[in-house]
Amino acid sequence: MIPYGSLVVYVTPKGRRYIKRLEEGQDWHSNDGTLPAAQVAALDFGAETRTTLDVPIRVQEATLFVRDQGAYILFDTPQRGITPGQFAAWYDGDELVGSGIISE
């Protein structure tokens, strides 16, 4: 089970990644449909589930470190298709709280 408060990476079939902290009652919404928070909390990291539009979504774990020299996202599993120059963004619920350019 994924505990509330965990940083979750939602991976779409097209390889898009969305990072959001799992909060009770805060469902995940995208063009691919909705995932209720309780449905995600019942999963284990690495599992796949389906949105309200029947789109498969894989959930992975990540950790956000904030240091004086910047913020760092550490993924629990290797990620494909992430390259320097792309942007990363992180949210607290639905509020954007930070973003930055991927440097390495």
Structure tokens at 68: 């004086």
For the chain, 104 residues long, give each residue's pLDDT as a single digit of tens: 999 999 898 999 988 888 888 999 999 998 999 999 999 999 999 999 999 999 999 999 988 787 887 777 777 777 777 788 888 887 776 788 888 888 77
Phi, psi of 20, deg, nearest 5:
-150, 140
Structure tokens at 49: 């589930």
Q: How many CB atoms lie within 10 A of CB 99?
A: 11
pTM: 0.75
Structure tokens at 47: 């599992």
pLDDT of residue 102: 82
Report how far residue 75's alpha carbon sits from residue 37's, in angstroms, rounded to the nearest whole number: 21
Report how far residue 4's alpha carbon sits from residue 103's, in angstroms, rounded to the nearest whole number: 29
